[in-house]
Amino acid sequence: MKKLKPLAAIVGAGRTKFGELWYQNPEALLTEAGLKAMESVEYGLRRKDIQACYFGSFLYQVTNKLALIPGYMSRELGMNIPMSNTEAACGSGGSALYNACLGIRSGEYDVTLVGGFEKMTDRAGKIIDDLMFAGDPHEFDAGYTFAGLYASMMARYIHDYGDSSDGRCREALALVACKNHHHAVGNEYAQFRREFTVEEVLNSPLVADPIRMLHCSPVSDGAVALVVVSPEVAKEYTDTPIYIVGSQQATDDVSICSRESLTGIKATRLAMEKVLKETSMTMRDIHLAEVHDCFTIEEIFFLEDSGFCERGEGWKTVYDSYESFKGSKHIPYVNGNSELVVNAGGGLKADGHPVGATGVRQVYECFKQLRNEAGGNQVDKELNVALCHNIGGTGGIATVHILMREL
Amino acid sequence: MSEPITRRKILVDYRIRAAKCENCGRVYFPPKSFCDIEGRGSRMREVDHFYEKGTLLSCNVIRGPTKKFDYLKSFLSGIIHFQGDNLKVPGRITDYVPPPEEVDVTEFIDRGVVPRFRKTFTDGTSGLIYYSSMNFSFEDDYYPFQQYLPIKPSVNEKSSKPGIVGYGVYLPKFRIKNEGHGVLGVVERTLPFADEDTTTFAVEAGKRALIHSAIDSRYVKKCFVGSESAPYAVNPSMSTVSQVLELGEPYEDGFFSGGIDSQFACKAATDLFIDAAALVAYSTFGGEYVMVIGADNSQAAAGDPLDYTVGAGAAAFIFGKRNVIATLDCYVPYTSDTPDFYRREGEEYPKHGGRFTGIPAYFKHVGTAMKAAMKACNLTPKDIQYVANHSPNGKFPYQAAIEAGFDKEQIEPGLVVKYIGNLYSGSCPTALAAVLDIAKPGDKILMTSYGSGAGSDAYIFTVTDAIEQKRERSITVKEQIENPHRQYVDYSTYRRWKEG
Q: Which of B6, B11, B29, B63 to mutate to test the interface with A (most CBs of A within 10 A)?
A: B63
Report pLDDT digits (tens) over A21-77: 999 999 999 999 999 999 999 999 999 999 999 999 999 999 999 999 999 999 999
State which H helix or E strand residue A323 sits in: helix A314-324
Higher pLDDT residue, B40 or A172?
Answer: A172
Shortest distance between the Cα of A282 and any Cα of chain B, in A, equals 31
Contact B134 A159 (CB under 8 A): no
CB-nearest partner of B58 from A138, A155, A258: A155
Whether A366 is a known active-site residue: answer no
Is A353 annotated as catalytic?
A: yes
**Range A338-362 average pLDDT:** 98
Q: Is A260 on the interface with B (CB under 8 A)?
A: no
Residue B62 is nearest to which of A143, A159, A163, comparing CB atoms? A143
For chain A, domain boundaries:
8-125+218-404
Q: Which of B9, B29, B57, B58 to mutate to test the interface with A (most CBs of A within 10 A)?
A: B58
Cβ–Cβ below 8 Å for A145 and B78? no
Q: CB B77: neighbour CB atoms within 10 A? A: 27
> From A164, which residue of chain B is nearest by alpha-carbon distance?
B106
How much is the pLDDT for B156?
67
With a CB cutoff of 8 Å and minimum separation 6, the contacts of B444 are B329, B379, B383, B384, B385, B386, B460, B461, B462, B463
Q: In this complex, do A142 and B65 lie within 8 Å of one another by their Cβ atoms? A: no
Contact: A141, B132; criterion CB under 8 Å: yes
Would the CB atoms of B66 and A129 count as touching at under 8 Å? Answer: yes
End-to-end CA distance of chain B: 20
Amino acid A54: pLDDT: 98
Q: Does residue A289 surpass a pLDDT of 90? A: yes
Give residue B211's pLDDT: 98
Note whether A143 contacts B72, CB cutoff 8 Å.
Answer: yes
> What average pLDDT does the segment A379-404 reach?
97
Per DSSP, the three-state class of B454 is coil
Q: What's residue B39's pLDDT?
A: 92
Q: Which of B77, B90, B109 comes nearest A156 by C-beta?
A: B109
Strands A338-342 and A288-290: parallel
- Give the other-Cβ count within 10 Å of B162's Cβ: 22
- Are the Cβ atoms of A143 and B66 closer than 8 angstroms? yes
User: Quick count: other Cβ atoms within 10 Å of Cβ A35?
Assistant: 15
The 3-class SS string of A241-281 reads CEEEEEEEEEECCCCHHHCCCCCCCHHHHHHHHHHHHHHCC
Sorted by where each begins, the domain ranges of chain B are 3-138, 155-498
**Cβ contacts of B67 on chain A, cutoff 8 Å:** 126, 128-129
Query: Which pLDDT score is estimated for B373?
Result: 98
- Ranges in chain B, pLDDT < 70: 155-159
Q: Look at phi and psi of residue A176 and say left if phi exceeds 0, alpha if psi is from -120 to 50, else beta.
A: alpha
b vs e for B212-241, b when ≥16 Cβ sit within 10 Å of the residue's Cβ? bbbbbbbbbbbbbbbbbbbbeeeebbbbbb
Range B155-498 classified under CATH 3.40.640.10: no
Q: Does pTM surpass 0.90?
A: yes
By the 10 Å C-beta count (0-12 exposed, 13-18 middle, 19+ buried), A205 is classed as exposed
- With bands split at pLDDT 50, 70 and 90, how would you rate the model's confidence at A1? low
Active site annotation includes B266 = yes
How many other CB atoms are there within 10 angstroms of residue A245's CB atom? 24
| pLDDT tens per residue, range A290-323 | 999 999 999 999 999 999 999 999 999 999 999 9
Strand ranges (DSSP E) for A255-376? 288-290, 333-335, 338-342
In the predicted structure, residue A380 carries a pLDDT above the cut 70: yes
The pLDDT, as a whole number, for residue B155 is: 66
Rounded to whole angstroms, the Cα distance separating A124 from A215 reads: 19
Give the contacts of B10 (CB within 8 A, at least 6 positions apart): B131, B243
What is the topology classification, in CATH, of domain A8-125+218-404?
Peroxisomal Thiolase; Chain A, domain 1 (3.40.47)
Spatial separation of the C-alpha atoms in residues B241 and A65, rounded to whole Å: 40
CB-based burial label for B210 (10 Å; 0-12, 13-18, 19+): buried
CB atoms within 10 A of CB A375: 10
The answer, for A126 touching chain B at a CB cutoff of 8 Å, is yes
Pairing between strand A206-209 and B54-62?
Answer: antiparallel
Of all residues in chain A, the one with the smallest CA distance to B100 is A206
- B184-221 pLDDT tens trace: 999 999 999 999 999 999 999 999 999 999 999 999 99
CB pairs under 8 A between A and B: 120
Q: Please give the Cα distance from B54 to B27 (Å, whole number).
A: 15
* Contact at CB, A210 and B105, closer than 8 angstroms: yes
Tens digits of per-residue pLDDT, A226-249? 999 999 999 999 999 999 999 999
Check A145 against B62: CB less than 8 A apart: yes
* Nearest residue, CB atoms, A144 vs list B30, B63, B90: B90
- Cβ-based neighbour number of residue B303 at 10 Å: 8
